[in-house]
C-alpha cells in the first residue's frame, strides 16, 4: 500500500481536477494507509502516511501542471513564520553541538548539520500539504469542496469505526498484520473505542468531532432541502462520537455546536481568534503557573477517577518537560531524545510527551513553537481584518471553518492530534483569505490571477504544456 500510493496519487492528478486530486490523495492516504510505519528509502526522506501523498503531489503538481507552488505566504507575518520554520532546525543544531552525559553508560550525541537537514526534510511533508492547499483551495467553492469531502469521507469511515466499537479494534491487524498502538488504551468504559487505520483513538475522536461541527457549518450555508441532510449527518456523527469514548472531543462539539448554529460569521471568527490567543500564549501561561491545573483535575475527577488520574499524569509530565525545555528556551534541545528526561541511574527515558505544544517547545524552543503554531493560527487572526479590508462580512462557511480549526489546535495542547486534515484546512483557509485580500473575483482561477511577466526567462510549461510563470525554485 505504501509503495503503491505514489502511483495512486499520480492517477488522481492525471484523471481528476487538480483541486480534487489534492484533497482526495491526501485525505484518503491518511485514512487508509497503515499507521506507525515509515517507508525508509536510500537517500530519500522517510515516507509515512502523513507525507507520501503530499510530497508526490507537490512533485506532480509542479511537473505535470507546471505550477509554481510557493512555501512563502503573501503577508509579512506569514513570510516571517515560514522563514522561521525553515531556519529553526539549523538554529537548533547550532545551539546543540555539545553531547549530554546521562551516566557512564549512556551519552546523547551532539547535533550535526546532517541533523538539521533531516529535521527540515521531516517538515516537508506537512509543509507540502499546506502549500498545495494554499495554491489550489483558495476560493469559496474549493473551501466548501474541502469541507464537504471531509464530511463525506467521515460518513463512510464511520462504518469501520462502528465495526470496531462492536468487535474491538481488529482491522489494522487483519489487513496490515500489526497493531499500531497499545491495545489496552483502546479499552474504555467496559467496551472499545475505534482506531481503524489512524494513530490512536484520540485522533479518530477529534476528527469525528470536527466532521460533526463541519456538518452544521455546511447546513447553515446550504439551501433548506440540503441543510436538513447535513443536520441529520451531524446528529449521526454525534452518536458515533459518543461511541468513541473521548470526553474532550465530545465536550468540544457540545460547546461549539450552539455557537455554530446561532452566531454570525463575524462572531464565529472572534471566538476562533480568542482560542488562537489562548493557544499561542499557553506556554507562557504554563511557565508562569497561571493555568489552574488543580481545578481542572478536580473537575475531571467528578466525571471519573480514571480521567482525573490521566489528566494529573499529563500535567505532571508537562511541568517536568517544560522545566527541562527552559534549559534552552530559544531553540530547544533537538532530537536524539535530548528533549526528554532520563533516569540518571538507568539512562532510560522517564518522561511521556502528550501535548504537541510541549513537544515543540522541547524540540525547537520558543522559536519552533511560534513557527509551527503561528503558521497554523495565521488564517484565524487574518479572518476579520481581511474581510473588513475587502468590505465584506465574514461568511458562515469561513467563520465556521475557522472555529473548527481552532478547536483542533486547542486539542493540540493536551494531545498531539495534528493530522494532514489540520494542514489542509489551514492552507485552504489561508489561500482563500489571500485571494480575498487581492480582490480576485470568486469565479476566476488562480492561473488567471497570477501576474504576467513581460520579459525574462521563458515560463515553465510543465510536462503537459500548461504554462505558468513564477520563480524557478522550491520557494
Please state the rounded mean pLDDT for residues 51-66: 88
Instruction: Quick: pLDDT tens for 60-79.
Output: 998 888 888 888 998 899 99
Mean pLDDT of the chain: 85
Please state the rounded mean pLDDT for residues 425-438: 92
Instruction: Quick: pLDDT tens for 275-304.
Output: 999 999 998 988 887 888 888 888 877 777
Query: What does the pLDDT read at residue 44?
Result: 61
Angle between helix 356-389 and helix 396-410 axes, rounded to 10 deg: 160
Instruction: Quick: pLDDT tens for 19-47.
Output: 999 999 999 999 999 998 888 776 566 78
Query: What does the pLDDT read at residue 279?
Result: 94
Query: What does the pLDDT read at residue 461?
Result: 42
Query: What does the pLDDT read at residue 442?
Result: 55
Exposure string (b/e) for 61-90, b if CB count within 10 Å is 16 or more?
bbebbbbbbbbebebeebeebbebbbebbb
Among the listed ranges 100-104, 399-403, 444-448, which one has the minimum average pLDDT value? 444-448
Query: What does the pLDDT read at residue 440?
Result: 64
Domain ranges of the chain: 1-69+445-475, 74-116+265-430, 141-262
Please state the rounded mean pLDDT for residues 310-328: 85
Query: What does the pLDDT read at residue 452?
Result: 37
Query: What does the pLDDT read at residue 74?
Result: 87
Query: What does the pLDDT read at residue 109?
Result: 86
Angle at CA of residue 163, ends 160 and 168, nearest 5°: 115
Residue 44 cell numbers, joined: 530519500
Please state the rounded mean pLDDT for residues 155-164: 95
Amino acid at each position: 500500500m505504501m509503495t503503491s500510493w505514489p502511483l495512486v496519487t499520480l492517477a488522481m492528478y492525471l484523471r481528476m481536477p487538480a483541486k480534487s486530486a489534492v484533497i482526495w490523495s491526501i485525505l484518503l492516504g491518511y485514512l487508509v494507509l497503515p499507521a506507525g510505519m515509515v517507508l525508509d528509502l536510500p537517500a530519500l526522506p522517510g515516507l509515512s502516511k502523513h507525507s507520501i501523498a503530499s510530497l508526490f503531489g507537490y512533485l506532480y503538481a509542479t511537473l505535470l501542471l507546471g505550477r509554481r507552488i510557493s512555501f512563502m505566504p503573501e503577508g509579512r507575518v506569514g513570510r516571517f513564520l515560514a522563514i522561521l520554520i525553515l531556519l529553526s532546525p539549523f538554529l537548533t543544531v547550532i545551539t546543540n553541538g555539545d553531547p549530554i552525559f546521562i551516566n557512564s553508560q549512556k551519552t546523547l550525541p551532539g547535533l550535526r548539520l546532517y541533523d538539521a537537514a533531516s529535521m527540515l526534510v521531516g517538515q516537508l511533508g506537512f509543509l507540502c500539504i499546506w502549500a498545495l492547499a494554499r495554491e489550489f483551495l483558495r476560493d469559496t467553492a474549493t473551501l466548501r469542496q474541502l469541507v464537504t469531502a471531509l464530511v463525506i469521507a467521515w460518513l463512510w469511515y464511520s462504518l469501520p469505526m462502528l465495526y470496531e466499537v462492536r468487535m474491538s479494534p481488529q482491522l489494522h491487524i487483519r489487513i496490515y498484520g500489526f497493531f499500531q498502538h497499545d491495545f489496552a488504551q483502546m479499552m474504555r468504559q467496559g467496551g472499545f473505542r475505534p482506531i481503524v487505520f489512524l494513530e490512536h483513538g484520540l485522533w479518530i475522536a477529534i476528527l469525528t468531532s470536527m466532521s460533526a461541527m463541519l456538518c452544521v457549518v455546511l447546513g447553515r450555508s446550504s439551501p433548506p432541502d440540503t441543510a436538513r441532510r447535513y443536520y441529520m449527518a451531524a446528529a449521526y456523527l454525534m452518536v458515533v462520537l459518543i461511541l468513541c469514548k473521548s470526553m474532550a472531543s465530545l465536550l468540544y462539539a457540545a460547546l461549539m455546536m450552539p455557537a455554530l448554529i446561532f452566531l454570525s460569521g463575524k462572531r464565529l471568527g472572534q471566538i476562533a481568534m480568542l482560542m488562537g490567543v489562548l493557544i499561542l500564549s499557553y506556554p507562557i501561561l504554563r511557565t508562569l503557573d497561571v493555568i489552574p491545573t488543580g481545578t481542572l483535575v478536580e473537575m475531571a475527577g467528578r466525571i471519573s477517577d480514571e480521567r482525573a488520574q490521566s489528566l494529573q499524569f499529563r500535567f505532571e509530565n508537562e511541568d517536568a518537560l517544560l522545566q527541562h525545555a527552559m534549559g534552552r528556551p530559544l531553540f530547544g534541545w533537538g532530537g536524539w531524545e535530548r528533549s526528554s528526561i532520563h533516569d540518571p541511574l538507568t539512562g532510560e527515558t522517564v518522561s511521556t510527551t502528550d501535548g504537541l505544544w510541549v513537544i515543540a517547545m522541547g524540540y525547537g524552543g520558543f522559536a519552533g513553537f511560534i513557527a509551527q503554531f503561528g503558521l497554523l493560527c495565521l488564517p484565524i487572526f487574518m479572518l476579520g481584518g481581511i474581510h473588513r479590508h475587502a468590505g465584506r462580512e465574514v461568511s458562515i462557511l469561513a467563520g465556521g471553518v475557522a472555529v473548527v480549526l481552532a478547536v483542533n489546535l486547542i486539542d493540540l495542547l493536551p494531545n498531539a492530534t495534528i493530522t494532514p486534515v489540520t494542514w489542509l484546512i489551514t492552507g485552504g483557509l489561508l489561500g482563500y483569505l489571500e485571494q480575498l485580500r487581492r480582490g480576485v473575483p470568486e469565479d476566476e482561477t488562480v492561473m488567471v490571477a497570477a501576474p504576467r511577466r513581460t520579459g525574462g526567462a521563458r515560463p515553465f510549461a510543465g510536462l503537459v504544456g500548461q504554462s505558468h510563470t513564477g520563480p524557478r525554485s522550491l520557494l
